[in-house]
Amino acid sequence: MEEQKGQVQIKADEKEMLGQYSNLVMIHHNAEEFTMHFIYVFPNGPQGKLLGSMIVSPGHAKRLLRPEDRGKLTEVRRKTSRQRSS
């Protein structure tokens, strides 16, 4: 079986492809890993539901939090807040 470099086949069902909305992320870390818990906190009370957790290496966490990516996120926030206020 011959594999092409840089390409990975990923299987996902329809539910996974749709994604889920999370309004809270709790991040814990140690020297070997970062754990991110994605939570939805209900607007009508102090209850929430854990939607999923991801465990990544420090290298992957660093790439997720790069300064240039935070700049992109800030721009998305600005556009979103302008749309809401219109």
What is the identity of the amino acid at 83? Q
Model pTM greater than 0.75? no
Where do the domains of the chain lie?
20-85
How many angstroms separate the CA atoms of 42 and 76, rounded? 24
Q: What does the pLDDT look like over 32-64, one tens digit per residue?
A: 999 999 999 999 888 999 999 999 999 888 887
